[in-house]
Structure 1
Amino acid sequence: MSEQQEEVAKDRTAVELFAGGGGLAMAVQNAGFRPLLFNEVARWACETLAVKADRVPPKQRPPIPEPGQRPPLVEGDIQKLDMSYLADAGVDVLAGGPPCQPFSLGGIAKGDEDKRNMFPQMFKAIRQIRPKAVICENVRGLLRPSFAPYFEYILRELELPFEEREPESTWQEHDATLRERIEQAKTDPKKRYVVRAIPVNAADYGVPQIRHRVIIVAFRSDLPVDMDAFEDSVKRTEYSETALIRSMLGLGEDDYWGRHPNIPDHVRQRVLARLPETPPADDGKKPWRTLRDAIAGVCAGGKALPPITDDLLDRTDHDLGGFTDHIGWPDARIYDGHTPNELDRPAKTVKAGVHGVPGGESVMLLDERVRDKSAPDGWRYKHRYMTVRETARVMTFPDEVKLAGPRGEQMRQLGNAVPVLLGEVFAKAVAAALDKAENCK
């Protein structure tokens, strides 16, 4: 009888830049990548990361951790960070979400001229580290027609990151050079990447939130990665609005109202009244997860969060069920352009805020209602701010993750993060693509 050797799991490694509160970092680790380095500049995000990482003193070269050791955390400006010591470490994945304010619909939208544009630092890191793959998340604003030429330039820079831009040249001049080099196709395969940009809605991946983003993935071109197969794998989403509508109409095996039997009838009727009269055809997918699902623990298979009643809206931690940061906050308002989240829909996009007002839109409509003569039907639904823990669940952060800082800074970390579940889908697909490519070599 022939001996069968047990397959040894690969020691996959990752570097995380612009790590923030750790959403993408958790996703990459959940996919089996061991972190070699975290970098972040924001004070409170660093405090959050420091729970599972070791700070490196300024100007000291970070150590390369062995399996089982805590990764180093370099706190500070990435422009001052030299990562060339990792060139021979065989880094599998470089992951990060460069600050998105230059491209966000809610930001100033100065585009490539904005000093907060950190894409050049991603390209510098690629030159220094030479990772096998890159995962980069950013806002959908990158895809706006007004930014299309510059976004295409970003993708070409990622394809040829070793073709550095001259300090005095414009991006248009550098883009012309890149186009010429790409057409020549003479670049060393280890210095060239194959790139795909994939628009996503996090709700389609089981995240209880409407969050439109673009995920950019690149593989080093010396690796025989089947890019079409990779893209197909991450685009085959499991969740849909169609399936949510059908579950609310009592069609199929997933009964939304059966999952939430204590919803008041007037809420149920309000939700059903806006559904289409003709049921959509079955698409074979699972229902979008809703804010109510997140609070009830359906998404993560956890416990339901205790309710926040009016008497708990006092900024005080009442230790409700032992959940951290499940704290009521007073004075939530609804006004034009500031509409609330509804429990029976995926939450609106969690935002980091503009001009220092993080989480300003995190208001939710409740099941309770009160008489109001000014309302069309004589009733007004009550509302309140979402707690940090509820918002963390919407971002699919595990309940055990404690975010550092005051409420505003916690919400800022969440608004800047990648939903863990969304990032995990892409990180697992990257790991699978690398495994297949390396087995073919």
Structure 2
Amino acid sequence: MNSIELFAGAGGLALGLVNSGFQHKAIVEVNKDACKTIRNNNVFDYGKKLYEGNIINFDYTTIENEIDLISGGPPCQPFSLGGKSQANNDSRDMFPQAVNAIREKKPKAFIFENVKGLMRKSFEPYFKYIILQLQYPSIERSTNESWEQHHAALEKYHAQSAHTGLEYNVTYKLVNAADYGVPQKRERVFFIGFRTDIHINWTFPEPTHSEDALIWEKWISKDYWKQHQLLVPTIDEKTLKKVEKIKKKYGSSKPQYLPWVTVRDAICNLPDPQKAHAKNFNQHIFKGGAKIYPGHTGSYIDDPSKALKAGTHGVPGGENMIRYEDGSVRYLTVRESARIQTFPDNFQFEGSWSEVMRQLGNAVPAKLAEKIGLSIFNALIEIKGLT
């Protein structure tokens, strides 16, 4: 099935969609280093379909194929808790360009991802405006029309009994990547839309992993520590209370889900990056200087990582640091960070360390993208009558 990837970054969402069966007819990205990353990985056919430049200048008429899916992560700085949070007043708000792509190519479906901050109460009017734009992309905003005026026009159209323009059924959900086997507590909102004329009844794929199951394996069956050939550590009072609740909830039957994947699970077969033989692993290079200070404590090795971030000044909150049992910390290597984002080990990132960490911090975990992508792919296959 044919797809277009917008705001591709390093290609986490694009990679997951390739693995779920979609074929990109165009990949659009403006950042030069991210474009180098896409070109240097043959999963994207060495970037032959890549358009490097501002999406505003992209010509959709150059794509002759019928498009089944449009996907992407519109820049999230306007809504990020770590940014200035200017939303629609921020020039980096690219949701209008995502809507324009839908209007131009009329795909059967779309998938867009953004930060949890977009769902804050203060953004609620604009959030509703985004949903209406995605529902009715043919109701275009005029040059002199404010977003509030356009919002009112969309609401009026929505209230009508008869709709004649392009229309989508839109579903959104706040998703924690850890619930789908990603070693990272990364909460992001996903917008999924299907064109109303193809009559698809679709729901988000069910979670496969849970924190309850991880706590069970750590503190009830103790299988987690056995698997890693470690002594069972002393349990703290806060965790003990969680364990008692889980025992009461499940009795003698373990949770039905798989356990959350931890940082240790993700990197256990990589060598210590400070050892000489670590250089044999792709981009597994030690970087010194990691330290703890208030609000910057790292990610505990026996839990999923905090959400990797793309801060302009490095690693806000210490999300890009491992915190060991003794309280010591070190920076994740590029390869370890890539595993946290579920990129394959042969995936090569281009740019300086800070630029690569920015690419990784902005990426959609490839495994999560594949799971959501596969559910969309299967829904579209069914309406095409294919197997």
Bigger share in helix: 2
Unaligned runs of 5+ in 2: none
Q: Which of these residues, 287, 290, 311, is aligned with residue 262 of structure 2?
A: 290
Corresponding residue of 1:172: 148
Q: Residues 341-380 of structure 1 correspond to what in structure 2 (within 5 A)?
A: 341-353=299-311, 355-357=312-314, 361=318, 362-367=320-325, 369=326
Are the aligned partners of 1:165 and 1:174 in contact in 2 as well (CA < 8 Å)?
yes
Q: Which of these residues, 334, 339, 343, is aligned with residue 297 of structure 2?
A: 339
Corresponding residue of 1:278: 244
One-letter code of the match for 1:157? Q
One-letter code of the match for 2:94? M
- When normalised by structure 2's length, the TM-score is 0.92
Corresponding residue of 2:25: 36
Q: Which of these residues, 51, 54, 58, is aligned with residue 81 of structure 1?
A: 58
Q: State how far apart, in whole Å, the 1-side matches of 2:381 and 2:48 are.
A: 24
Q: State how far apart, in whole Å, the 2-side matches of 1:271 and 1:402 are.
A: 40
Cα deviation code 1:104-138 (max 9, x no counterpart)? 11111001110000001111111111111101000
Q: Residues 2-17 of structure 1 correspond to what in structure 2 (within 5 A)?
A: 12-17=1-6
Seen in structure 2, the aligned counterparts of structure 1 residues 14 and 338 have a Cα distance that, compared at 3 Å, is same
- Structure 1 residue 365: deviation in Å? 1.6
Q: State how far apart, in whole Å, the 2-side matches of 1:386 and 1:42 are.
A: 23
- Structure 1 residue 319: deviation in Å? 5.4
Q: Which of these residues, 13, 18, 25, is aligned with residue 24 of structure 1?
A: 13
Q: Which of these residues, 357, 361, 368, is aligned with residue 415 of structure 1?
A: 361
Are the aligned partners of 2:178 and 2:210 in contact in 1 as well (CA < 8 Å)?
yes
Are the aligned partners of 2:74 and 2:93 in contact in 1 as well (CA < 8 Å)?
yes
Q: State how far apart, in whole Å, the 1-side matches of 2:131 and 2:24 are.
A: 25
Q: Which of these residues, 210, 215, 232, is aligned with residue 185 of structure 2?
A: 210
SS in 1 for 2:23: strand
One-letter code of the match for 1:305? L
Q: State how far apart, in whole Å, the 2-side matches of 1:426 and 1:180 are.
A: 32
Are the aligned partners of 1:38 and 1:73 in contact in 2 as well (CA < 8 Å)?
yes
Q: Residues 105-116 of structure 1 correspond to what in structure 2 (within 5 A)?
A: 105-116=81-92
Seen in structure 2, the aligned counterparts of structure 1 residues 258 and 158 have a Cα distance that, compared at 3 Å, is same
Q: Residues 23-422 of structure 1 correspond to what in structure 2 (within 5 A)?
A: 23-52=12-41, 71-86=48-63, 88-188=64-164, 191-226=166-201, 230-231=202-203, 233-234=204-205, 236-251=206-221, 255-261=223-229, 263=230, 268-269=233-234, 274-276=239-241, 277-280=243-246, 281=250, 282-296=254-268, 304-309=269-274, 318=276, 320=278, 322-353=280-311, 355-357=312-314, 361=318, 362-367=320-325, 369=326, 381-422=327-368
- When normalised by structure 1's length, the TM-score is 0.81
Which one scores higher on RCO, CA 8 angstroms, separation ≥ 6?
2
Q: State how far apart, in whole Å, the 1-side matches of 2:333 and 2:133 are.
A: 40
SS in 2 for 1:47: helix
Q: State how far apart, in whole Å, the 2-side matches of 1:125 and 1:92 are.
A: 12
Are the aligned partners of 1:53 and 1:72 in contact in 2 as well (CA < 8 Å)?
no
- Structure 1 residue 179: deviation in Å? 1.2
Seen in structure 2, the aligned counterparts of structure 1 residues 147 and 22 have a Cα distance that, compared at 3 Å, is same
Seen in structure 2, the aligned counterparts of structure 1 residues 237 and 295 have a Cα distance that, compared at 3 Å, is same
One-letter code of the match for 1:152? K
Seen in structure 2, the aligned counterparts of structure 1 residues 390 and 345 have a Cα distance that, compared at 3 Å, is same
SS in 2 for 1:35: strand
Q: Give the root-mean-square deviation of aligned CA atoms.
A: 2.2
Are the aligned partners of 1:28 and 1:427 in contact in 2 as well (CA < 8 Å)?
yes
Q: State how far apart, in whole Å, the 2-side matches of 1:357 and 1:169 are.
A: 39
SS in 2 for 1:21: coil
SS in 1 for 2:130: helix
Cα deviation code 1:24-62 (max 9, x no counterpart)? 00010000001111110111100001124799xxxxxxx
Unaligned runs of 5+ in 1: 1-11, 56-67, 297-303, 313-317, 370-380
Bigger Rg, which one: 1
- Structure 1 residue 169: deviation in Å? 1.3
Percentage identity across paired residues of the two chains: 40
- Structure 1 residue 188: deviation in Å? 3.7
- Structure 1 residue 84: deviation in Å? 2.6
SS in 2 for 1:125: helix
